[in-house]
Chain A
Amino acid sequence: MQFRPTAKAAKLLSCAALASILPLAGYSQDVKTLTSWDLQTQEDTVKVIRNGMDRFEAANPGFKVEDSHFANDAYKTKLKIAFGADEAPCIFSSWGGGPLREYIKSDQVVDLTPYLDENPEFKDRFMPASFTAVTYEDHIYGLPAETSAVGVIIYNKELFAENDITPPETWDELMDVVAQLQEKNIAPFALANKTKWPGSMYFVYLADRIGGPETFLNAAERAPGGSFEDPTFIKAGEMLQDLVKAGGFARGYNGLDYDIGGSRRLLYSGRAAMELMGTWEFSTIANENPDFADKIGFFPFPSVEGGKGDPNNVVGTLGDNFISIASSCEYPDAAFDLLMHLTDDIAVEKKLEDNGIMPVKNLEVDDPFLSGVMDMVADAPSVQLWYDQELPPALAEVHKDTTQQLLGLSITPEEAAAAMEAAAKAQDSSN
């Protein structure tokens, strides 16, 4: 038998080559894939998102959207690794603010300003304030994608009625309510602060009520005269510690885990009467404990006497999640079209059915909770984004750490303010 390796190898090679070229050619000609990552895991919410993608696919033959949905904290890590490894998805969700700015500063996010200028009617549907969290040096890098979430105090109406308590409007009244509830052996506030952001809300609201949003803005932007050692922040820390000392929080508040329902359990069982939380909590409670959902009401964070901040100001986010396009995306134009499909009027309506209030003008809402939130947002002179999302990530960590320590009464407000100011200075000099 004659052995001719070359002929055999040639045959094999050509087969392999054909096999590898054929599917590739077919693939690249027919389907262009856009990957999309977000952190919506509730089934109904995912359906709304997928609906927008289906409509985009129908309007753009040849494009396919691959959507992935991740759990909250895992998502933050995954997104960061993906960007660091140049494996970013085409479109992605974020909360805007500090972390998004890190991505923008390293040129990883597409500037949406030119696209929005081309589509003025589309852009003007949104409330102007909804772009604040995604604006960097006057350019817009994301679109509000989910809902308007603001911090409100959720309370158990039954418990309040049984004990003749009315929702407080000022901080002093709130402290009275705390004393009254204490007397009845009911913990005033449920707080699950293991992850540190839930406790931060109290501090942010207090600082906003005492000094107004400008004090924080000046400190964060390192504007002349702006400082985290401003009396506002020290006062906020003192008042927060007053609340702790008055027994304002149910036992275990610094160790309970919000993600496994540590605070809501206290509400459900009637052991605690109130919780300061984002308005997403309504739908979480409705999902977890539909019977209890009828018992809750909400009121805005009380005003602080002598405070410079408007009591109508809210802390929260218009958009909750924002969607942006990664610079590595091969088809940015198509990706923007996808973004439009995800936030157009049909999407807004579908999100409303799913209890999401998109920050668009003239939205008509029937649900009493949601319309209450809408009114708060519409009347608010300022919407302060949560500090932990607004600040640069390293500084945000210091803010969360010091606030947890304030709540644990292990540092003084002055020490917390000094730590924040030192970290802000270090951050500033490294940039």
Chain B
Amino acid sequence: MSSAEIAPTESGHRQSSRRFRRAQKVAPFVFLAPAVLLLLVFLLYPLVSSFRLSFVSWNGLGDGGDFVGFQNWVRLAHDTLFWRSALHNILLAVFSVVVQLPIAVVLAVVLDEASKGSRILKILYFLPLLMSSVALGVLFKNIYDPNFGPINGILSELGLYSWTQDWLGDPRLALASVIAVVSWQYIPFYMVLFLAALSSFPREITEAARLDGASGRTIFWRLKLPHLQGTFRTAALLVLIGSMRYFDLIYVMTGGGPENASEVMATYMYRTVFASFELGYGSTIASAMFFIIMAISIVSLRVSQRFETEV
């Protein structure tokens, strides 16, 4: 009687624990499902279908388009404008790393040392990042205006008329002018990144170093910079990927011109799809961009990992 009474509870217990274990196995999938589903629908599906479109000739209207095999890809390989755009992307990336990161590090270190009084400065320096790129683009178009803009205005006031330039209209300067604004916009972002990293830097170490007679410069080069190296790698990777797919400020300020002097891959793709009505070839450019960015990301990840073990 008693055993008969106990048996069902025991088996019930065993059953529920088994159910619990099974639920535990299922749970991660259930919790991950929404995210995975969203990624599949909004990332993988467009990626694959855009790759599929790179093999058709289609104006983007009506149904279908004609399958043309590798014709678009052959055209891309011979398209000097595309490779020129890609080169502009690389220039943008290199200058962004060289200009943005050092300035961001210096700003972060200085603001970190100045701690209390720097709160207003921190907010001020952060402002460019909060502005919409379109507003920023229009603002700088006016600043760069060769006839009415303040840059040329100040230069001619100073008697340096020969230094005044047609900043956005001269093909030799347009890309550099835009890169300057892009850097101005993004330095605050990396500054915040470095500030966050510095806040985890133990004060005792600085104090101990000071007691041992280390100068501010030594503390910066020997202690703080090595501490930031992980963040530096992340930042460099972000700059690199961001620069390769950059679009907005260039589109607003120059539209890729004049004479394609500031054309980057994304603006070229946009023009091909929306101005030339060549959705097929535009998709080829988009897919090529994806592969190029992928390759660069993998290589730079590898390189930065090796760098990590050496330090």
Contacts and interface: CB of A to CB of B under 8 A. Distances in A.
A84 B144 CA distance: 38
Given A260-B141, A404-B258, A405-B259, A252 B147 contact: yes
Interface stretch (B58-66, B99-107, B124-132): B58-66
Contact of B278 (A194, A262, A394): A394
Contacts, number: 99
B169 A255 contact: yes
B170 A255 contact: yes
A6 interface: no
Interface stretch (B23-31, B112-120, B235-243, B268-276): B268-276
B188 interface: no
Given A269-B148, A393-B275, A255 B254 contact: yes
Given A252-B166, A256-B169, A401 B277 contact: no
B77 to A, nearest CB: 16
Nearest to A405: B259
A271 interface: yes
B276 A106 contact: no
Contacts of A260: 138, 141-142
A404 B257 contact: yes
A256 B145 contact: yes
Contacts of A105: 62
Contacts of B255: 194-195
B85 to A, nearest CB: 13
A411 to B, nearest CB: 9
Contacts of A136: none
Contacts of A252: 145-147, 166, 168-169
B167 A106 contact: no
A221 interface: no
Interface residues of B, number: 33
Q: Is the interface of B mostly helix, strand, loop or mixed?
A: loop
B264 interface: no
A265 interface: yes
Interface string A251-265: 111111100101001
Contacts of B141: 257, 260
A2 interface: no
Nearest to B252: A257
A103 B61 CA distance: 7
Contacts of A394: 276-278
B62 A393 contact: no
Interface residue tally on A, bucketed by range: 35 or more
Contacts of A84: 60-61, 279
Contacts of A396: 275-276
Interface in A62-118: 76-77, 80, 83-84, 99, 102-103, 105-108
Contacts of A408: 171, 258-259
A102 B258 CA distance: 27
A405 B174 CA distance: 14
A97 to B, nearest CB: 13
B274 A80 contact: yes
Interface of B: 57, 59-62, 138, 141-142, 144-148, 166-171, 174, 254-255, 257-260, 271, 274-279
Q: Enumerate the 4 nearest inter-chain pairs by beta-carbon distance, A residue then B residue, closest first.
A: A255-B169, A106-B62, A252-B146, A255-B168
Interface of A: 76-77, 80, 83-84, 99, 102-103, 105-108, 193-196, 250-257, 260, 262, 265-266, 269, 271, 392-394, 396-397, 401, 404-405, 408, 410, 430
Given A106-B61, A252-B146, 18 more contacts: A84-B60, A99-B277, A102-B61, A106-B62, A108-B62, A195-B255, A250-B147, A254-B171, A254-B257, A254-B259, A255-B144, A255-B170, A255-B174, A269-B148, A393-B276, A396-B275, A401-B260, A410-B171
14 contacts: A84-B60, A99-B277, A106-B61, A108-B62, A193-B258, A251-B147, A251-B169, A252-B169, A256-B169, A265-B148, A397-B276, A401-B260, A404-B258, A410-B171
